Amino acid sequence: MAKGRMLQKRISTSSKMTQLSSDTVRLLYTWLLAHLDVNGNFYADPVMVNNLVFTRLGHSSKTVAAAIDELANVGLIVLYQIDGETYLNYPDFFEKQPKLNPDREGNSDIPNITPESLLNNSGVNQEPLQQQKTQYKINIREYKSKIMLKEGFEEFWSAYPRKVNKKEAMTSWNKAKTPPLEEVLSAIEKQRKSDQWLEDGGKYIPYPSTWLNKEKWNDELISGGNGNGTNRKRTWTERDSVNAEAGELADAAARRLKEKLKASVGHPDKDANGFGQGDI
C-alpha cells in the first residue's frame, strides 16, 4: 500500500463537504483518504477506523460510526459487505488519483467492492442501489481504460502518424518494453522521413500496435530526404535513366569495334583485334 494519497484542492468547494455536520466528519473523510488501498477501499468497522485513522484524537467508536454513516448518506463513500465484514469505498477514487500505479503497490488484503456486495441498509447509502451499481461499473471501466494505461501513451499517440485501432495500441503500449519516451518519439520522428513511411502517402506505415509489438523503434529505415513522398519513385527513375545511357554507350562501342574488325581484313599492319599502330 502507498504511503499516502493525493488530496485535490477542489475539496474546498465541494458541496457534499458543506453538507457534513461537523469538522470531525470532514476530518475523517480527508484522513481516511491516506489509508485507502489501491482500489479505494478501507475497513468500515468503527473500532478499526478509530484506532487506525483517529489514533490519538480520543474519539469514541460511536462518534466514528456516526461519521461513517453520515459520509455514506451524502455519497462521499459507499459501504459494502463481503463474508460478513463491512468495508467502505471512495467512488471517485480513480478519478482523483491520476498518478496511481497498481503494479508498484501489489495486492490488497481488503476484498474489492462488487455490485452484489453494495449495502442498501436504512440510514446508509440513501441513493438508489441501482445508481450505486452503475457508478461502480463506470469507475471500473475508467480504471481499466485510463488508470492502468502506462504513462506516455498520449504523447506516443499524438506523434504517431497513423492513428488507427487506438484500443489495440493502448494494449500494446502497456505490454511493450519500450525505451524512455524521448527515444520512442525520436524514432518516430526519424521514421516519418523514411522512404517506406513516405511512399504512396503513408500507405506502408505500420499500425501503431504492430510498431509497438515488433519493437520497430529499433528499425533503421532509409531516408530519401525531400519529405514529399516521392523519394523512392524518383530514385528508380534516375537509376533507369543512368542504366539506359550506359546501355547506349555500350552499344555504340560494340558497333565501332565491329566496323574496325571489318576494315582490318586484308591489312597486315592491323593486329588481330583490328587496331593499327595509329589507333592506339
Grid coordinates representing 269 are: 599492319
Is the domain of 211 the same as that of 136?
A: no
**What's the pLDDT at 157?**
93
Cβ burial of 123 (10 Å; 0-12, 13-18, 19+) is exposed
**What's the pLDDT at 270?**
53
Q: How many domains does the chain have?
A: 3
Q: What is the pLDDT of residues 229-264, one digit of tens each?
A: 444 444 444 444 445 556 666 777 777 787 777 776
Contact 258, 264 (CB under 8 A): no
Is the domain of 125 the same as that of 243?
A: no
Is the domain of 243 the same as that of 178?
A: no
Contacts of range 47-53, beta carbons closer than 8 Å, 24 or more positions apart: 53/28
Total residue count of the chain as it appears in this document:
280
d(Cα 233, Cα 236) in Å, to the nearest integer?
5
d(Cα 5, Cα 14) in Å, to the nearest integer?
18
Is the domain of 143 the same as that of 33?
A: yes
Query: pLDDT above 90 covers what percent of the chain?
Result: 37
Residue 117: pLDDT band with limits 50, 70, 90 = confident
Q: CA-based angle 65:9:86, to the nearest 5?
A: 25
Q: Which domain holds residue 239?
A: 231-264
Mean pLDDT, all residues of the chain = 78
Q: What is the pLDDT of residues 147-201, one digit of tens each?
A: 467 788 999 999 999 999 898 898 899 888 889 999 999 999 999 999 889 888 8
pTM: 0.45
